[in-house]
Amino acid sequence: MSYTEDAQTRLRRAGLRVTMPRVVIYEYLLNNRTHPTCDQIYNGIKKNNPGISLASVYNVTEKLADEKLLLKIVSPDGERHYDSITDFHGHFFCLECKKIFDLSCRPDFELEELKGAQTMEVSLSVKGICPECVDHS
């Protein structure tokens, strides 16, 4: 299945109207696992899609995040990034190169202090210097 077909199918399953901006933006995110910002998404799609404005990118990404089709990640510098992988995982933020890396982790861990609590959301964010930046310093 192509990224376009996958984007259309996921939008329909979420009960959303399949519009050209939604498909183009979601397809871009499915195809780019770099945790881009709205500006980066816009710069990645504008050449082939001049009719999609930066405001549309902001609106579409917010809607897709609200519908749980994207994760919204806020980096240490306060910028919003988007991730099309919505399965449970964490993120490592490199404070040097500003890259964001996915971290594999299990969603079924337990914290003794939360026994009996009803947990709604868990997020794992790690900040530091990535191995590549450590090697270059």
Across 124-129, average pLDDT: 95
Beta-bridge partner residues of 72: 82
Whether the predicted pLDDT of 133 surpasses 90: yes
Of the candidates 12, 15, 21, 76, the one whose C-alpha atom is nearest the C-alpha of residue 46 is 21
Across 66-95, average pLDDT: 95
Q: What's the pLDDT score for residue 106? A: 79
Separation CA 105–CA 19 (nearest Å): 34
Q: What's the pLDDT score for residue 112? A: 83
Contact between 73 and 103 (Cβ < 8 Å): no
Whether the predicted pLDDT of 6 surpasses 70: yes
pLDDT tens digits, 96-115:
999 999 999 877 777 788 88
Terminal Cα distance for the chain, rounded: 43
The model's confidence at residue 3, banded by pLDDT at 50, 70 and 90, is low
DSSP string, 1-42: --HHHHHHHHHHHTT----HHHHHHHHHHHH--S---HHHHH
Residue partners of 121: CB distance under 8 A and separation at least 6: none
Which CATH architecture is the domain 3-83 placed in? Orthogonal Bundle (1.10)
